[in-house]
Amino acid sequence: MKGIGIIPVKHLNYAKSRLSSILNINDRIKLCLLMLTDVLNALTSSRLSNIIVISPDNRVLNLAKSFGVDTVNIDLGLNESISYIKDIIDDFDLSIVTPLDIPLIEPIDINKIIDLSLNYNVIISPSHDMRGTNILCRKPPNSMETFFGDLSFKKHLDEATRRGLKIKIYVSPRVSIDIDSNEDLNAALKYCREHGISKQFISLFNSK
């Protein structure tokens, strides 16, 4: 099964504004790059055949290149970015879209989803509040549009259902924690402490 991972990342100067009460802009940028490192560590250690990072931010692109993955430099919204590379990903059997803010993800999560894709066209991993989408797997890779943003979990479910695609929900405590707020950050740090997990994003807080 030939799969491609897709990580769309907006310009970091505008990232994680909901954390501005506890982190200044420089620390928010550092956090994003550390979380992206965690996500890239997981994806590059999985059974994905290729990975592509889409972003207008050179800091993001340079980090991605250090992992040896493909990059696209373009300034579009998340869904528009994914649509922009539709011809590239069409050569693969499946595509897996992940955001940069799920640093607890492990290679086993991606590999389980690849295994599930043998029997399902769409695999969705929801955020902890069941509103967002933290992983979207599509087989074939362009089998449906993406709707990342508010209420994306329901929108992806509705779109997959409308197209008659076979759907599987993948629930993982690691993948469900996306760091957008102070509460999310505390939940992620607590999970790492309780499970003895070492992740790159933690280093930002160890140094304070």
Round to whole Å and give the CA distance between 168 and 185: 27
Q: Among all chains, which residue has been given the structure tokens 């509460």?
A: 183
68 phi-psi bin (left φ>0, alpha ψ -120 to 50, beta other)? left
The 10s digit of each residue's pLDDT in 28-44 is 999 999 999 999 999 99
d(CA 56, CA 156): 25
Dihedral over Cα of 34, 35, 38, 42: its sign: negative
Q: Using an 8 Å Cβ cutoff, are 12 and 57 in contact?
A: yes
Query: Does residue 96 contact residue 3 with C-beta atoms inside 8 Å?
Result: yes
> Which amino acid is located at 157 in the chain?
L
pLDDT of residue 208: 53
**pLDDT 10s digit of each residue in the chain, 208 long?**
899 999 999 999 988 999 999 999 999 999 999 999 999 999 999 999 999 999 999 999 999 999 999 999 999 999 999 999 999 999 999 999 999 999 999 999 999 999 999 999 999 999 999 999 999 999 999 999 999 999 999 999 999 999 999 999 999 999 999 999 999 999 999 999 999 988 999 998 875 5
- How many helices (H) does the chain have, and how many strands (E)? 9, 7
Q: What is the pLDDT of residue 75?
A: 96
- Pick from 86, 80, 110: nearest CA to 174: 110
What does pTM read for this prediction? Answer: 0.95
Where do the domains of the chain lie, and which CATH numbers do they carry? Answer: 3-206 (3.90.550.10)
Q: At 107, is the secondary structure helix, strand, or coil? A: helix
Burial 28-56, CB ≥16 within 10 A → b, else e: bbbbbbbbbbbbbbbbeebebebbbbbbb
